[in-house]
Amino acid sequence: MAGRYGDDMNSTALPLIQLSEQFARLPGIGMKTAQRLAYYVMTMSDDDARAFADAIMTAHSTVKECSLCCNLTENELCPVCAESSRDHGIICVVENPKDITAFERTNEYNGVYHVLHGLISPMDGITPDMLRVKQLLSRVGKGVREVIMATNPTVEGEATAMYISKLIKPLGVKVTRLAFGLPVGGTLEFADEVTLFKALENRSEI
């Protein structure tokens, strides 16, 4: 990585270059932003810098996967799985822990989740055994009535939803998929053809 910053960084202290390189490894952080962040760290108080470094280590060492749904948590069970008032008969299957936050924000869903930690993508070398599919199948037997496939409406998301539904359906469990259609607040004018076709196909009586 040293070459990335080239000779024009000769005037910069080595630990600063190394910190810039660490920031540049984060997704969506380019070289210039990484440098700006590294310089910002220099202006932090000792306590603040230590709190930042500690937060990285603490999060990385204490947060693990929920033994039931594979969501990220500090305890054996994540807050959703631990809540007895939730309907453990409905499992919503998502790609990332972040997606759970999105569903929880609706305040409408009362079932539980299952986090795959990725999508099947042969192009990127991600095969089904690299996802938490086995853990999902082991849950399905135990009184589950419905599995909602809530992966993204992308090629990988669709393929993963299809793959998993084919494994679950033979077990006699209902498998559903999120509805496709116009986004609320969106306009027809800006809807793409596929979305519009799906909205037409899935039309409902008023």
Our CB check for a copy of itself shows the closer of 65 and 158 to be: 65
Whole-number minimum distance, CB 18 to a copy of itself, in Å? 5
Question: Which stretches within the chain are classed as H helix?
Answer: 2-5, 14-24, 31-43, 46-62, 79-82, 97-105, 133-140, 155-168, 193-201
Q: Which of residues 129-158 bind a copy of itself (CB under 8 A)?
A: none
Close Cβ partners of 123 (under 8 Å, ≥ 6 residues apart):
none
Check: CB of residue 160 under 8 Å from CB of residue 119.
yes
- Under the binding rule (CB under 8 A), the answer on residue 203 touching a copy of itself is no
Whole-number minimum distance, CB 121 to a copy of itself, in Å? 15
- Under the binding rule (CB under 8 A), the answer on residue 27 touching a copy of itself is yes
Q: Which of residues 102-131 bind a copy of itself (CB under 8 A)?
A: 104-105
Crossing angle of the two packed helices 155-168 and 133-140, in degrees rounded to 10: 40
- Under the binding rule (CB under 8 A), the answer on residue 50 touching a copy of itself is yes
Tokens 């209902």 map to which residue?
174
Q: Which of 59, 130, 137, 155 binds a copy of itself (CB under 8 A)?
A: 59
Pairing of strands 146-149, 174-177: parallel
Q: How far apart are CA 177 and CA 102, in angstroms?
A: 16
Whole-number minimum distance, CB 59 to a copy of itself, in Å? 4
Taking phi over 0 as left and psi of -120 to 50 as alpha, with beta for the rest, 125 belongs to left
Q: Which of 31, 53, 171, 200 binds a copy of itself (CB under 8 A)?
A: 53
- Under the binding rule (CB under 8 A), the answer on residue 82 touching a copy of itself is no
What phi, psi does 66 have (nearest 5°)? -60, 135
Whole-number minimum distance, CB 185 to a copy of itself, in Å? 19
- Under the binding rule (CB under 8 A), the answer on residue 176 touching a copy of itself is no
Q: Which residues lie near a copy of itself (CB under 8 A)?
A: 8-16, 18-19, 21-22, 25-29, 33, 35-42, 44, 46, 48-63, 71-74, 78-80, 96-98, 100-101, 104-105
